[in-house]
Amino acid sequence: MIPVLLIGIPLLAGLIGFALKDAAAKSWALFASLLVLGVSLAGISMTDSPQLHFSIPWMGSLGSRFAVGLDGTGQILCLLTALAFPIIFISTWKEPYKNAHNFFGLMLLSQAGLMGVFLATDALLFYFFWELALIPVYFLASQWGGEKRIAATFKFFIYTFLGSLMMLIGIIFIYFHTKNHSFALTAFYDAHLQITNETQSWLFWFIFIAFAVKMPIFPFHTWQPDTYEQSPTAVTMVLSGLMVKMGVFGVLRWLAPVLPMGTYMWGDTVSTLCIIGMIYASLIAMRQDDLKRMVAYSSIAHIGLMCLAIFAITETGIQGVMIQMFNHGINIIGLWIVVFLIEKQFKTRKISELGGLAGKAPVLTIMLVIITLANIALPLTNAFIGEFLMFSGIYSSRVTAYNIVFVVTAATTIILSAVYMLNMVQRVFYGPTNTVTDKGVDISPGEKGVLGFIVVLILVFGVYPEPLFRLTQEAVDLLMKKMYFKP
């Protein structure tokens, strides 16, 4: 029943939210998201309980069931989704939205969609949620975003929609190759036995393209900086903290174990694309003047590393990816909160127009520096654990002959990320103040609380990552078995 609640609560709450008054909708959304957090924590603390799975016939003649389950790769992302929404709501609490009830209703619907993606164990259901997560976000970004929002979000929509359609072909193709024609995840895991290697080879791209657009992987990334920049920051948090993880998650759950041969065959090609994307995005991030665009490009680089580590197919690497998905979500939401607070106070996001904030807003500065360090993956921060595991995984990879090249070039981007992140800190927070920042004040206690919570998470998981390991171990084992790397 737990997975049904995780999808059902935000869905119902969202629909109710549309009918509420603006102020009430805000509190209602926070309440609902906290409820989801509670349920998800309860779900994760259970092990092997029948409550974690739910399955009823849905479209009988098609062989599709409404099957959801809180297990494997989905667990950690459900936790992240459940955790992220209250943080997003609290950190943007004072932001006045026009028609706020619609805003919060749509936000909750997007949470329901995301939960569905992470919980579905039926391919058609997965596809449903995959698209459904997109629609509310499209409306959110187009309605409350910046000046060029309509064009930017439309580009985003077309990109992802095209990717999804390709995936649909892939899903139907695999469906016709399963025994008894079923959409069940387990049936999909066995389907590759009936599909020849040549077929897997082209089929791989049909499914991968949907995930590649979502992550995004070079050259499918061009929607991302525009959309992040034009969306309201709360939506950007959803997009970059959670929705990009849909792509990584998709590869881990619906691609690599479903088409193992295809994954091996194209490993080097995808890895090369990841490397190109990482370096390219890091270089562009260095030249950005807009804070949002800079963070957007840095996100491309980080996701590229995760994808690289998946295609190295090692146990450590994949464990690193799962842990890093969680950590990256926390860190980037922290960064967006800081950007949001700066923009709210000074009405600008231009790095060149800011300066000397450290004197005016010391608490904000301390928080930001810690989040920044986490983003560069410094030891003692959470991202270090994930990135270290990923690098060691790529290095020890047995499926590619270029593992050293990949590690070295990928590691370069860490240095580049230090360059642009620290450069940003220096130019925004240190140096003399100017007319814009002269009257700056520090953040409010509520905002301190949220950022403090994120910083605590960063430090705790940086020192004691054991819970994350335990949460992901089972999924990693299963994946390695499906990929024939474990008996």
Partner 1 sequence: MNSIITSAVLGVIMMFSGIILKKNASIVYVAIAGIGILLIMGMLEMSGYHFFPVDTRGMLYFDVFGLLFNCIAFACTLVYFLLNGRDLAAIGNYPGDYFALIFFVLCGVSIASSFNNLLMLFIGIEIISIPLYILTGSDKRNLKSNEASLKYFLMGAFSTGIMLLGIAFLYGASDKGSFFLDDLALGKSAGSPMMMTGLILIMTSLAFKVSAAPFHFWTPDVYDGAPTVVTSFMATIVKAGAFIAFIRLFNDAFGEMKIQWQIFIAIITVFTLFIGNITAVFQQSVKRMLAYSSIAQVGFMLFSLLGLNNLAKEGIILYSAVYSLSTIGLFAILVRMKDLSFQGFNGLARQYPVVAFTATIFLLSLAGIPLTGGFMAKYYMIASVMQTGQYLWLVIFALLCAAVSVFYYFRVIQAMYFKEGAEQQLELSAGFNGMLILLALIIILLGIFPQVLINRLYIIYN
Give least dist CB 176 to partner 1, A. Answer: 6
The nearer residue to partner 1, 154 or 469, going by C-beta atoms, is 154
* DSSP character string of 335-357: HHHHHHHHHHHHS--BGGG---H
Give least dist CB 442 to partner 1, A. Answer: 36
The nearer residue to partner 1, 58 or 93, going by C-beta atoms, is 58
Q: Among residues 428, 234, 417, 419, which one has the least CA distance to residue 336? A: 234
Which residue bears the tokens 């990879």?
397
Print the binding letters for residues 279-298 with partner 1: x by CB under 8 A, - otherwise. Answer: --------------------
Q: By CB under 8 A, name the one of 50, 60, 96, 432 that touches partner 1.
A: 60
Q: Among residues 407, 400, 410, 406, which one has the least CA distance to residue 265? A: 400
The nearer residue to partner 1, 128 or 204, going by C-beta atoms, is 128
Q: Could you tell me if 218 and 276 are in contact, meaning their C-beta atoms sit under 8 angstroms apart? A: yes
Q: Encoding tokens for residue 124?
A: 């058609």
Helix (H) or strand (E) holding 69: strand 64-69
223 binds partner 1 (CB under 8 A): no
Give least dist CB 143 to partner 1, A. Answer: 6
The nearer residue to partner 1, 130 or 326, going by C-beta atoms, is 130
What is the size of the binding site for partner 1 (CB under 8 A)? 26
Q: By CB under 8 A, name the one of 168, 251, 285, 454 that touches partner 1.
A: 168
Give helix 291-312 / helix 260-286 axis angle, nearest 10°.
Answer: 150
CA dist 376 to 321, 328, 386, Å? 16, 11, 12
Print the binding letters for residues 394-423 with partner 1: x by CB under 8 A, - otherwise. Answer: ------------------------------
Q: Which of residues 138-167 bind partner 1 (CB under 8 A)?
A: 139, 142-143, 149-150, 154, 157-158, 161-162, 165-166
Question: Which residues have a Cβ under 8 Å from the Cβ of 99 and sit 6 or more positions away?
Answer: 22, 143
Give least dist CB 235 to partner 1, A. Answer: 14
Task: Give the C-alpha separation, 80 to 77, whole Å.
Answer: 5
Residues at the site binding partner 1, with contacts judged by CB under 8 A: 59-61, 127-128, 131-132, 135, 139, 142-143, 149-150, 154, 157-158, 161-162, 165-166, 168-169, 172-173, 175-176
